[in-house]
Amino acid sequence: MTNSQFVVLKDVAKRWNGQLGVEDISLEIPEGSFTALLGPSGCGKSTTLRLLAGLELPDEGQILIDGKDVTTSAASDRNLSMVFQSYALFPHLSVTENVVFGLKVRRVPKAERQEKLHRALEITGLLGYENRKPGELSGGQRQRVALARAIVAGQRLCLMDEPLSNLDAKLRNSVRKDIKKLQRDLGITVIYVTHDQTEAMSMADTVVLMKDGHIQQVGTPEDLYSRPNNIFVAEFVGAPPMALLQSTAPDGFGEGKTIGIRAENIQIVPKGEGRMCCTVNESEFLGAETLIGLDHADATGLCVLKPGMATMAEGTEIEINFHDDNLHIFDGAGQRLPD
């Protein structure tokens, strides 16, 4: 039976010399879930992870892991493993020595060490690399060594801090799948920090989007995409970001409102049939589709997606249409209004 409140943060705050790190962070993370802490640089996601890990102590609030109050506990007493952006491998040790280092320190018997090592190397695709040093491995292989080390630790909670940011795009995609499969196969709880929305949206069950030390929204990837709490969420989540129109553009929504619309919900229509007249400012061919950027005096980020190769000349005047059902309405403070 899973613990629906395996990791709990209650009103957690951390400041440095009066400067905000994070404020009023409250979260409940169920056991066996994959939670992504997402947001731009400086939003507080890594600080939140460090507070969970015990690498920083909060100024206010409470942190519980598996029902135990660990707010002031040492990192070594929190029964968790960590995977870092920098791999954190010993360059003079072999793959085997790096993976079992923690087990040796904890004086785990040799036979048990070997059994755990073999399983971890098998899961991460590193069998045959046991005697190589980190300098003889690719970036992706080094990150797999770091993952293998987390696996042998055998902890139910694993914290990951931007583990893929040093890898190229193709490797990131590959290791991303490895991490997600590994989490599912082992049934562990993963809390994963990233600034990359593609990572968060493709891997996580729950996304926690942060800005300026505060949580903006907690929900499934689909929640954040389809029902953003505010304008920041609407613009941060999705590629391309949600377009924003001032309420003078489509009529009937009241003064001071901002209206959001996703590119896939906009259609180019024949002249005389549209709700708005726009000018093409760019065409970006993406392979399966073409992104056509549009200018309008009352809009920012307005664009439309067309299938295949469908570029249009810059300066072309077109008309667009969309349905009210696909609009997101935000008030003057940028908060989403009820449907």
The helix (run of H) or strand (run of E) holding residue 68 is: strand 68-69
The reported pLDDT for the residue numbered 150 is 86
Phi, psi of 320, deg, nearest 5: -125, 155
Which has the minimum average pLDDT: 52-66, 158-172, 197-211, 303-317? 158-172
Lowest-confidence segment of 53-67, 110-124, 242-256, 281-295 by average pLDDT: 242-256
Residues contacting residue 226 through CB under 8 Å, at least 6 positions apart: none
Tokens of 101: 């280092």
- As a whole number, mean pLDDT of residues 46-56 equals 95
Average pLDDT, the chain: 91
Which tokens sit at 155? 């902890």
Section 86-109 average pLDDT = 87
CATH architecture for residues 7-233: 3-Layer(aba) Sandwich (3.40)
Residue the block writes with tokens 């409102």: 257
- Kindly indicate the confidence band of residue 153, based on its pLDDT and cuts at 50, 70 and 90: confident
Residues contacting 294, CB < 8 A, separation 6+: 278, 279, 280, 281, 302, 303, 304, 318, 320
Among 105-114, 240-249, 281-290, name the one with the lowest average pLDDT: 240-249
In the chain, what are the domain boundaries?
Answer: 7-233, 240-330
CA atoms of 18 and 98, how far apart (whole Å): 39
Whether the predicted pLDDT of 1 surpasses 60: no
Per-residue pLDDT averaged across 238-258, rounded?
Answer: 78
In the predicted model, what is the mean pLDDT of residues 159-170? Answer: 84
Predicted confidence (pLDDT) at residue 219 exceeds the cutoff of 70: yes
* CATH superfamily, with its number, for domain 240-330: Nucleic acid-binding proteins (2.40.50.140)
Query: What is d(CA 215, CA 209) in angstroms, rounded to the nearest whole number?
Result: 6
